[in-house]
Structure 1
Amino acid sequence: MNVLPGAEPFAHDGSTTGVLVCHGFTGTPQSMLPLATRCADEGFTVRLPRLPGHGTHWKDLNRTRWSDWWSAIDGAYGELAARCDHVVAVGMSMGGTLATLAAQKYPHGIDGLVLINPAYVMKDIRLKALPILQHVLPSIPAIAGDIKKPGVTELAYERTPLRALQSQRQMWEQVTRDLPQITQPLLLLHSPDDHVVPPECSALVLARVSSTDKTEILLEDSYHVATLDNDARLIEDETVQFIHRVTGG
């Protein structure tokens, strides 16, 4: 199994404030690397794992399930928890789903949650056939690369594996059901013009979490992969400020 150049995980040991960074479905750590690097430059301890089945070939992703992706995130959290006094979870798209799951699993271990165009539901009517379609059609054209900024490319698969997509749907159901368990401070950054994740996702998390500290920021000049888009600097600045605030830094 050869990892694509640029798809490698990122880790940095810094202060006792940890940042758990999660990339999205069919993507790689490359989409979150600028944000992870900025957090490292701020002195934080950072873990950005490559999710199993990602960054190699899309067929590898079809051999994994959401429990495998969670296992990688859980392991990275364990590393941070072992050396840090505070941990903040950050995720984009399905990475936002995984970051939310981390906050649900570790209510006293995750001090804050940063979500960037998180995925919890999809309204595409074709998904109703997915439980059957996954057994006869291995993949469909990709949903990756939704970026407004010219000349910027996301390192992601050109195909969307359907068995893995069906598994992601099962994760959405569990995480969405348990959204009221979230009590940590929340920073939600989302793009009104997103061609991958519907606006219902952001509305859902704002409405259902139990957090009393909720901040919503619109990314007016970016599409779905906002961490590589025109609002990347805004996301980085707001994330760093949020981490300092919720960890007492």
Structure 2
Amino acid sequence: MPFQPDYDVHADRRPYTLAGRSEDGRRVGALVLHGFMGSPLSSRPLAHYLNDRGLFVHCPLLPGHGSYPGALRGASRRSWLAEAEEGFRLAREQCDDLFLIGHSMGNVLAAHVALKFGGVRGVAMLAPVIDVPDPRLRYVKYARFFMPWYYPHKSKRESMQHLVRERVLDFDPTIDFDSPEFQAQLPHVSRVPISGMHEMVSTIEQGRKLWPRLDVPVRIHAGEDDTAAPPDNARQIYALLPGKDKELTVYPRVGHELMRPFEPIHATVWESIATFIETHVTTPQPAKM
């Protein structure tokens, strides 16, 4: 059964399924898998763009996601993999040709289901990860035993302060972030469970075992200014992929959310993904006379 959150999730962050239409006797679709602390919200506009072209599109909600990061407490890597598998089975039933679209950590989940189930026509990767952006994250496997929460708003790194503000306002744009009232709430709404960070790191580590086995057509899109998944991640993954049908594009002056409408490059990324799918659809066989 699909994951059913026991915490509040706004409607636009819930899973979505967009029915497609048959083209020349083939049903074509995409399974979209979001990343750590993300949600289906980030890919909805892209999904509607692809759906307008006739594609079936499905995006599940990973356990612990869709709300403030505190909901990640108790979520596990296994539950994320299980939800990706559930989403794959749902999409597979609706499609003759199935493509995968992953964002950030979601690319590891995409590689997992592609290798476990097979039959994937191609994978479009957005801001993929092969290592953590901060080496200190490698120690969360120890810190989780004595430090339950990480408070990113206390970080002295400007990039982290910017990320906290960005994530909070993305969750609720009406918030007056700098008001004294909200600043008093900030430690609670922005805190991240160390256990969830450990599961994220473990997922990324699992991906390093998958990339050398992922022999399907792949298109990788990354931003040169991405601090969450620096572009060297994409370059390393590209080098590890064994297939010949692979391409890597790194966009200058672009960050982590390269497929979202507020990022000017999004139109180019959307068109590239659509073209990739359209050129890798199975050619229908002529009927025998």
TM-score normalised by structure 2 residue count: 0.78
1:136-189, Cα deviation, whole Å (9 max, x unpaired)? 13233276986xxx9xx6439734332111112212222211212111000000
Deviation of 1:243 after TM superposition, in Å, equals 0.5
> 2:73 aligned to 46, 58, 62, which one?
62
Amino acid at match of 2:220: L
Q: How does 1:83-232 map to 2 (within 5 A)?
A: 83-107=94-118, 109-135=119-145, 136-141=147-152, 154-155=170-171, 158-228=190-260, 229-232=263-266
Amino acid at match of 2:10: L
How much identity, in percent, do the aligned residues show?
A: 24
Q: 1:27 to 1:155 in 2, by over 3 A?
A: farther
Q: Which moved more, 1:188-197 or 1:114-123?
A: 114-123
**What's the counterpart of residue 4 of structure 1?**
10
Higher share of residues assigned helix: 2
- 2:20–2:51 CA contact under 8 A, matched in 1: yes
The gaps in structure 1 that reach 5 residues or longer are: none
Distance in structure 2 (CA, Å) of the matches to 1:32 and 1:123: 22
Secondary structure, counterpart of 2:123 in structure 1: strand
**What's the counterpart of residue 247 of structure 1?**
281
Distance in structure 2 (CA, Å) of the matches to 1:144 and 1:93: 20
Q: 1:78 to 1:144 in 2, by over 3 A?
A: farther
**What's the counterpart of residue 270 of structure 2?**
236
CA RMSD across the alignment:
2.2
The gaps in structure 2 that reach 5 residues or longer are: 1-6, 22-26, 154-159, 173-188, 284-289
**What's the counterpart of residue 42 of structure 1?**
53
- 1:30–1:155 CA contact under 8 A, matched in 2: no
Distance in structure 2 (CA, Å) of the matches to 1:83 and 1:119: 29
> 2:19 aligned to 13, 16, 25, which one?
13
Matched residue count: 243
Distance in structure 1 (CA, Å) of the matches to 2:55 and 2:202: 33
Secondary structure, counterpart of 1:247 in structure 2: coil
Secondary structure, counterpart of 2:30 in structure 1: strand
